[in-house]
Structure 1
């Protein structure tokens, strides 16, 4: 943690600038931020906002922006992966020749919906259970 004696002149100047900001300037900055990032449409929405709500909304917006960056980087990675090639003899071939090999849409839907696909072993276990119960 920084002690007062370690604070530089630049930091003192920055604090003076914060203190020197008038209420009207701060209100305008908050209103512009609400319109720009929070999709507020009128000043009534800004006026009904508490400082606590404003801080929460802005923190949520920052987290949303991090999520957006994550999805952009994931998209770039997936683009690179989808274009991957493998060496087959002297030629290079695409690793994924069909989209379904790259992404199994139905499998993902089933996973989300909690649908478990039966394996060959499940059917074998059923058969054995039927035979042992007789």
Structure 2
């Protein structure tokens, strides 16, 4: 049985490394998108409400993330009635982690609000501290 040439073995190892690095980038991008989407929740929720995450994962569209959650009282106690319903936020991303659209159960977030959220909130220490999934 002939042994593979060293050059062929090296090429195979490089190809595997390149594939692994590519999958790692996608995972890192997906995780960053999930973080940004979660961080938008406190800014879009009633002041003083606690958030209970139910699910964070891919949305129905390409490049989207969906966060399902419930509101809770400031003390963390579950709310009753209409306020206890499951809510959602869908974040749509362009290339990389560029947030291009937000939709809640009440409808799409307008362009000005999205702009302000992206440029003046999502990357701040306040957003990091308020991230409902970052604890």
Question: Same fold per TM (> 0.5)?
Answer: no
Under a length normalisation based on structure 2, what TM-score does the superposition of the two structures give?
0.31
Under a length normalisation based on structure 1, what TM-score does the superposition of the two structures give?
0.31
**Larger Cα-atom Rg:** 1
Which structure has more relative contact order (CA 8 Å, sep 6+)? It is 2
The structure whose residues are more often strand, as a share, is: 2
The structure whose residues are more often helix, as a share, is: 1
